[in-house]
Chains A and B, each alone.
Chain A
Amino acid sequence: MVKGYSRPRSLDEALEMLARLTPRALPIAGGTDLLVDLREGRLGECHLVDISRLEELKVLEKRSGKIRVGAGLTFSEVERSGLLRECAPVLVKASSQVGSLQIRNVGTIGGNVAHCSPAADTIPALLVHRAKVVLRSSNGSREVALEALLGGPYKALLAPGELITEFVLEDASHMWGEFSKIGRRRELAIARLSLAALARKEDGRIGELYLALGAGTPVPRRMESAERALLGKRPQEGDLWEAGWLMAQEMVSVSGPRPSTHYKEKAACGLLVRTLLPLLEDGS
């Protein structure tokens, strides 16, 4: 039940409101997840604080080798950004595959992370970009690794009155990146599995590789067993299948056996192979 709505004019005013109205305060940005929860009756009594127009949350810049990306940027804004296309290719690809255009036009990356769905498209992407999250409250600010914020399905570990203000990414210029997902249909589908991949080749060998799986574990996570298996290699297709299998095993060891395991094990393996094919020796 929504009991109130406020539209603060600045970030400081928003943080002050969130502090004053806690624990009922609930920030709303694009609202594309929140309004579904509201309709389904999953929200308790709350007061909405509208942060969708705060310019302070739309930072976009490269500073001392890091890319600062405002949490209030919409998926469409991320997709269109020249800076991000160059320096954060996986985030751009993941954002362009979220929901529909109507959703991408208002939904934000900060909201995607704060909602913390196991299938959130931008979380695996931010993980391979080794994102740090900047959090602010009326008491100050802190910066944590994205992994530390992912407490469980739909449970971002935000303190009361705390807001995600930006993400700080490693510069991925000149790196190869991809984001692929398996859904029940091509558009608008919630990912059944998604894979973010970021890599750099050095003289035909894989010099750097970051992989993160979405929707396969309670929260998206880096898949280090598969990364290690391929690092330093000039991979052949067989190496990809081996890495895919390692990733599937890592997924199952984290999630435990589930009704969908038989399917997801093979699907995860195939998804890795399909996604990383361009990294093969003779790949384009």
Chain B
Amino acid sequence: MNPEEKIRISFRLNGREVEAHVLPGETALHLLRERLGLRGVKEGCGIGECGACTIVVDKKAVNSCLMLAAQLHGCEVLTVEGLESPVGLHPLQEAFLEHDAIQCGYCTPGMLLSAYALIVSRGVPTREEIVRALAGNLCRCTGYHQIVDAVQDAARRMAGKEEGRW
């Protein structure tokens, strides 16, 4: 019934090797959310404008709605489900709670992952760097200030600590 070929891919997802057979036109968002059950990957606009679907691929924030599932092959992928460790929430998540950086929560996974990628690459970023790195993540509730505060706070807490869970 389906004449399309399936492509076999393997990649590291939240620290674990996974294999999947994907359709050529399938998005990374569809694979992660609908087929692998990672509901933290949200579809907001589907055209790369809202950032709700942000994931981290090879340490860079990307829109999973604009990436093919097949393009994940061989990559290191992080979704919000991989942020938490057995010991507890990630410092970024703790900071979001403490700073009331969440209201409806829909943008939160994407915000956390954009912030994570920023901190991994920049250490303790300036406020301007945070604003610029989060500009691709829309939040219609908080007004952003609490989010920027939370990221700044988390970056300071994470400074010097080993981020060895990749």
Q: Which residues of A contact B (CB under 8 A)?
A: 1-5, 7, 28, 30-32, 35-36, 38-39, 47-48, 50, 52, 76, 99-103, 105-106, 186-188
Residue of A nearest to B70 (CB): A5
Residue of A nearest to B74 (CB): A53
| Residue pair A5, B24 in contact (C-beta under 8 Å) | yes
| Residue pair A105, B24 in contact (C-beta under 8 Å) | no
| Residue pair A39, B46 in contact (C-beta under 8 Å) | yes
Instruction: Say if the beta carbon of B163 comes within 8 Å of chain A.
Output: no
Instruction: Say if the beta carbon of B38 comes within 8 Å of chain A.
Output: no
| Residue pair B24, A48 in contact (C-beta under 8 Å) | yes
Interface string of B51-82 (1 = CB under 8 A from A): 10010000011110111101101000000000
| Residue pair B25, A102 in contact (C-beta under 8 Å) | no
| Residue pair B73, A101 in contact (C-beta under 8 Å) | no
| Residue pair B136, A1 in contact (C-beta under 8 Å) | no
Knowing that A5-B7, A36-B48, A106-B62 touch, tell me 10 more A-B residue pairs with CB under 8 angstroms.
A4-B5, A5-B24, A32-B48, A32-B66, A35-B48, A35-B66, A36-B47, A38-B25, A100-B136, A101-B135
CB distance from B162 to the nearest CB of A (A): 25
Q: Given A102-B54, A103-B136, A105-B61, decide whether A2 and B66 contact each other with a Cβ distance below 8 A.
A: no
Instruction: Say if the beta carbon of B17 comes within 8 Å of chain A.
Output: no
Residue of B nearest to A2 (CB): B25
Q: Given A35-B65, A105-B62, decide whether A100 and B48 contact each other with a Cβ distance below 8 A.
A: yes
Which of B46, B63, B70, B114 meets A32, CB within 8 Å?
B63
In the bound complex, CA of A101 to CA of B132 (Å): 8
In the bound complex, CA of A187 to CA of B133 (Å): 11
Report chain B residues within 8 Å CB of A47.
24
Q: Which residues of B contact A (CB under 8 A)?
A: 3-5, 7, 23-25, 27, 46-49, 51, 54, 60-63, 65-68, 70-71, 73, 114, 132-133, 135-137
Which of A4, A103, A188 meets B66, CB within 8 Å?
A103
Report chain A residues within 8 Å CB of B23.
2
The total of interchain contacts (Cβ-Cβ below 8 angstroms) comes to: 90
In the bound complex, CA of A50 to CA of B5 (Å): 15
In the bound complex, CA of A31 to CA of B133 (Å): 20
Report chain B residues within 8 Å CB of A30.
66
CB distance from B134 to the nearest CB of A (A): 8
| Residue pair A52, B71 in contact (C-beta under 8 Å) | yes
| Residue pair A100, B135 in contact (C-beta under 8 Å) | yes
**Nearest 9 CB-CB pairs, A to B?**
A100-B136, A2-B25, A5-B24, A187-B135, A105-B60, A2-B24, A102-B63, A35-B66, A102-B136
| Residue pair A102, B68 in contact (C-beta under 8 Å) | no
CB distance from A111 to the nearest CB of B (A): 12
Report chain B residues within 8 Å CB of A3.
3-5, 24
Q: List 30 A-B contacts (CB under 8 A).
A: A2-B4, A2-B23, A5-B5, A5-B7, A5-B68, A28-B68, A30-B66, A32-B66, A35-B48, A35-B65, A35-B66, A35-B68, A47-B24, A99-B48, A99-B136, A100-B51, A100-B135, A101-B61, A101-B114, A101-B133, A102-B48, A102-B66, A102-B114, A102-B136, A103-B136, A105-B60, A106-B60, A106-B67, A186-B135, A187-B136
